[in-house]
Amino acid sequence: MQNGKLIFPTSLQVTDQSVDLSGLSASQRDFYLNLFSEILEIYQAAQKPRVVIGITGPTGAGKSVVAVLFKEFARLADIPFVLESITIDAYHFPNQFLLSHFSNGVSLKQVKGRFDTYDAKALARDIASFLSGEKVSFPTYSRKLHEPVKDGVVVESKNTLLIVEGLWLLYDKAGWDAIGPLLNYTIFIDADAVKAKDPVLKRHIAGGRTLEDASRHYEMVDARNSELVLTTKRKANKVIPAYYSI
């Protein structure tokens, strides 16, 4: 694949929100074009029809942006297989469930995004079904509804590279220990907590939170999640910087 043939997008739609990429430098764009070439090589080297690459890292590192960017590159590139991406956010328990279940006297809805607010067993089941060659209907996540949406991504092609992005892919508690062994390769996006905070707040506000509520949620949930997720970095096959740090 020739990187020069790909047109780098100036913006992306990531879970119902627009992300501006027009300010990326030439070196930043080259970094992601080269990384895209690398994941294509990983798929081809695996010599299997279906391969799963995990993209993980702390909140605000840009995991979902990279996953959607690679899907856009794949749409433009001439590759002999399908590239599809899913997010673990689609495996959040519904809000009604989160409101009715508690941990240490606090509803799970208040800590949405923590490792125990997802159906990790369902994610493991779907990835295993994918790897076995089955047709799989993966859910998506709506930041307008703030709910998972069933059957948003349907994979039928025998030859498919699946990118899974999310915080907890390399975590080892609450059912997440079943996920890591299913991943053929993992990329950890490292991010400075100070630099990561601003894009996370903007995302929360775009999703309907006030600045005060977004800041509260960041300190109560996002920052604590990031501390835990950083402990999983050593398990990744490759560690890269966040797009705004390259």
* Rounded CA separation 38/74 (Å): 13
Its sign, for the CA torsion 168, 172, 176, 177, is: positive
Query: For residue 175, what pLDDT band results from cuts at 50, 70 and 90?
Result: very high
Q: Which of 180, 178, 162, 183 is nearest to 170 (CA)?
A: 180
Q: What is the CATH number of the domain that holds 205?
A: 3.40.50.300
Q: Is the pLDDT of residue 205 over 70?
A: yes
Q: Which of 189, 213, 188 is nearest to 201 (CA)?
A: 213
Query: Between helices 63-76 and 26-46, what is the axis angle to 10°?
Result: 70
For residues 204-233, average pLDDT: 90
Whether 87 and 166 have beta carbons less than 8 Å apart is answered as yes
In a domain, 8, yes or no: no
In a domain, 51, yes or no: yes
For residue 245, the model assigns a pLDDT of 66
* Rounded CA separation 217/33 (Å): 34
In a domain, 7, yes or no: no
Query: For residue 30, what pLDDT band results from cuts at 50, 70 and 90?
Result: very high
Considering only residues 35 and 191, tell me which one the structure prediction assigns the higher pLDDT: 35
Task: Return the percentage of the chain with pLDDT > 70, whole number.
Answer: 97
> pLDDT tens digits, residue range 117-132?
999 999 999 999 999 9
When divided into structural domains, the chain yields a total of 1
Q: Which of 201, 199, 196, 195 is nearest to 216 (CA)?
A: 201
* Rounded CA separation 170/149 (Å): 24
Q: Is the pLDDT of residue 208 over 60?
A: yes
Q: Which residues contact 227 (CB under 8 A, 6 or more apart)?
A: none
In a domain, 3, yes or no: no
Considering only residues 169 and 202, tell me which one the structure prediction assigns the higher pLDDT: 169
For residue 4, the model assigns a pLDDT of 54
Query: For residue 199, what pLDDT band results from cuts at 50, 70 and 90?
Result: confident
* Rounded CA separation 103/227 (Å): 19
Residue with tokens 């300190």: 219
Whether 195 and 201 have beta carbons less than 8 Å apart is answered as no
Q: Which of 183, 53, 167 is nearest to 118 (CA)?
A: 167
In a domain, 19, yes or no: no
Q: Is the pLDDT of residue 7 over 90?
A: no
> pLDDT tens digits, residue range 58-114?
998 999 999 999 999 999 998 999 999 999 999 999 999 999 999 999 999 999 999
In a domain, 32, yes or no: yes
Mean pLDDT is lowest, of 35-39, 40-44, 221-225, for 221-225
DSSP count for the chain of H helices, then E strands: 7, 11
Q: Is the pLDDT of residue 3 over 60?
A: no
For residues 196-216, average pLDDT: 86
In a domain, 9, yes or no: no
Q: Is the pLDDT of residue 1 over 60?
A: no
For residue 18, the model assigns a pLDDT of 84
Q: Is the pLDDT of residue 204 over 90?
A: no
Q: Is the pLDDT of residue 193 over 80?
A: no
For residue 17, the model assigns a pLDDT of 77
Considering only residues 17 and 104, tell me which one the structure prediction assigns the higher pLDDT: 104
In a domain, 1, yes or no: no
Residue 100 CA neighbour count, 13 Å, CB half: 5
For residue 244, the model assigns a pLDDT of 67
For residue 52, the model assigns a pLDDT of 98
Residues spanned by the domain of 102: 24-245
* Rounded CA separation 25/22 (Å): 8
